[in-house]
């Protein structure tokens, strides 16, 4: 079936900002899908914006109008300097919930085959599952990063919803497809010990809000440097009305942190799919949160201009090798450093071989101080207990 049958075009409707002429706006640079199959033959683009106005599998008050609201505030902003060609493919169709899931996966799979990066405007976070379904079809494992205040997993529950989408993800794809799964920004008092145990059993990584916010926000870049998919829940941002009764989240990432995270996502050399989910409906179907969503999207698109072509696009042999021997653990750790941008990588055990993963400068400093980096130990234990064949 033609990919054009899965999507429908949207009309350009944008807010005007003081001092930005029409020809200077981002919307003036966007290629808009016209509803025909021929359009895909005529147009070549680097980034696709895709709306999915689907919230039927969500228990919270989430806006189904979010894609249109975010677009309205986004396209009046200034042009992006990355040089990328950006297309807006409109919204994914779907009469039933299942139809929408299938259509979303088909469109995402097509774009992956065309080497097009996708920015998804949800919709609820259960849409992460069909998006990840792209990678098993390409016969390769994937890395997923989830930014959320909660762990959307209920142990021993077969229900599939926005609040349990990780159950579905683990059941459908498992370790044979999931290379790594990282949850960022979770708040301890909203997470149960049983949820943490499930993550631990699967050797998934959990980085709490206190480890990442404010001056530590750069740590998020390390996770996104190796991720194929980023799933961002607006509940991770403070002051969002996402608690029971529509109460606002007292703590969370700041609005500046949220934009920084999306900038890091854009700057990643390997990230293929980024999704923004669960924009609160609020008092006006989410209209009051549209400006923030638009700023986050703008930072993602602008961040694309900061890609470095780092490993794995470039051989790690080009970097500085810094080996540290830890006598207490009888372990020789190999760090690789790119002096051009200050990024670090660490060689870790992987099956019978080794592989390189992103790390921070702090990991290297810990090793020099004779402390075994938690990152290395995590993957050592994972390697010792999982079958990589």
221 and 147, same structural domain? yes
Distance CA 235, CA 176 (A): 30
**The total number of structural domains that make up the chain:** 2
Domain span at residue 364 reads: 316-385
Question: Do 272 and 160 share a domain, yes or no?
Answer: yes
The verdict on 203 and 77 lying in the same domain is yes
Torsions phi, psi for 332 (to 5 deg)? -105, 115
Dihedral (C-alpha) 293, 165, 163, 226: value to the nearest 10 degrees? -50
Residue 123 to residues 62, 105, 162: CA-CA distances in angstroms?
8, 14, 10
Domain boundary among 253, 277, 306: 306
> Residue 173's closest CA among 202, 195, 207?
202
pLDDT band at 12 (very low <50, low <70, confident <90, very high): confident
331 and 244 both lie in a single domain? no
Write out pLDDT tens, residues 230-257. Answer: 999 999 999 999 999 999 999 999 999 9
Q: What is the CATH number of the domain that holds 128?
A: 3.40.800.10
| 386 has a pLDDT exceeding 80 | no
Cα–Cα distance measured from residue 175 to residue 272, given in angstroms and rounded to the nearest whole number: 20
Longest dimension (CA), the chain: 65
**Same domain, yes or no: 204 and 85:** yes
- Domain-embedded: residue 41: yes
> Which pLDDT tens digit goes with each residue over 59-93?
899 999 999 999 999 999 999 999 999 999 999 99
**365 and 292 within one domain:** no
Rounded CA-CA distance 273/22 in Å is 29
User: Would you state the pLDDT for residue 339?
Assistant: 95
Residue 139, sorted as left (phi over 0), alpha (psi -120 to 50) or beta, turns out to be left
79 burial via Cβ count (<10 Å: 0-12, 13-18, 19+): middle
Helix (H) or strand (E) holding 112: helix 97-113
Compute the average pLDDT of residues 344-351. 92
> Is 285 inside a domain boundary?
yes
Backbone phi and psi for residue 54, each to the nearest 5 degrees, phi listed first: -125, 120
pLDDT at 387 over 80: no
Cα separation of 156 and 293, whole Å? 34
Q: Mean pLDDT across the chain, nearest whole number?
A: 94
Distance CA 222, CA 224 (A): 6
Same domain, 377 and 281: no
Domain presence at residue 39: yes
Asked if residue 146 has pLDDT above 80, the reply is yes
Q: Which two tokens stand for residue 81?
A: 């300097």
| Per-residue pLDDT at 39 | 96
Q: Does residue 311 sit within a domain?
A: no
Q: How far is CA 248 from the centre of its chain?
A: 23
**Residue 378 token pair:** 């995590």
pLDDT band at 139 (very low <50, low <70, confident <90, very high): confident
Q: Per-residue confidence at 159, pLDDT binned at 50, 70, 90?
A: confident
Question: Considering the entire predicted model, what is its pTM?
Answer: 0.96
Give the separation between CA 169 and CA 273, rounded to whole angstroms: 16
Residue 357 lies in a domain: yes
């Amino acid at each position: 079936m033609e990919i054009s049958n899965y999507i429908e075009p949207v009309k350009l409707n944008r807010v005007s900002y003081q001092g930005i002429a029409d020809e200077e706006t981002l919307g003036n640079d966007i290629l808009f899908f016209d509803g025909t199959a021929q359009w895909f033959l005529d147009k070549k683009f680097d980034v696709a914006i895709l709306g999915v106005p689907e919230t039927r599998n969500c228990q919270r008050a989430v806006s189904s109008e979010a894609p249109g609201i975010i677009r309205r505030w986004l396209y009046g902003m200034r042009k992006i300097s990355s040089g990328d060609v950006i297309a807006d493919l409109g919204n994914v169709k779907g009469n039933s919930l299942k139809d929408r899931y299938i259509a979303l996966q088909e469109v995402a799979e097509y774009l992956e085959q065309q080497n097009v990066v996708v920015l998804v405007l949800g919709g609820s976070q259960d849409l992460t599952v069909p998006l990840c379904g792209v990678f098993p079809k390409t016969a390769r494992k994937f890395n997923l990063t989830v930014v959320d205040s909660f762990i959307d997993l209920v142990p021993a529950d077969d229900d599939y919803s926005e609040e349990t989408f990780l159950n579905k993800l683990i059941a459908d794809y498992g370790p044979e497809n999931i290379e790594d799964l990282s949850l960022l920004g979770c708040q301890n008092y909203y997470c149960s010990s049983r949820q943490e145990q499930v993550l631990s059993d699967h050797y998934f990584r959990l980085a709490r809000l206190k480890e990442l916010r404010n001056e530590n926000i750069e740590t998020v870049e390390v996770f996104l440097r190796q991720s194929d998919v980023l799933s961002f829940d607006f509940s991770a941002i403070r002051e969002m009305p996402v608690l029971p009764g529509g109460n606002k989240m007292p703590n969370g990432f700041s609005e500046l942190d949220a934009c920084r995270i999306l900038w890091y996502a854009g700057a990643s050399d390997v990230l293929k799919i980024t999704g923004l989910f669960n924009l609160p409906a609020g008092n006006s179907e989410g209209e009051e949160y549209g400006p923030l969503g638009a700023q986050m999207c703008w930072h993602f698109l602008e961040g694309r201009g900061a890609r470095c072509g780092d490993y794995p696009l470039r051989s790690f042999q080009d970097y500085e090798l810094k080996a540290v021997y830890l006598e207490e653990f009888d372990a020789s750790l190999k760090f690789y450093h790119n002096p051009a941008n200050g990024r670090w990588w660490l060689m870790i055990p992987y099956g019978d071989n080794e592989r390189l993963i992103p790390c921070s400068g702090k990991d290297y400093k810990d090793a020099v101080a004779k402390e075994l980096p938690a990152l290395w130990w995590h993957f050592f234990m994972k390697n010792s207990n999982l079958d990589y064949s």
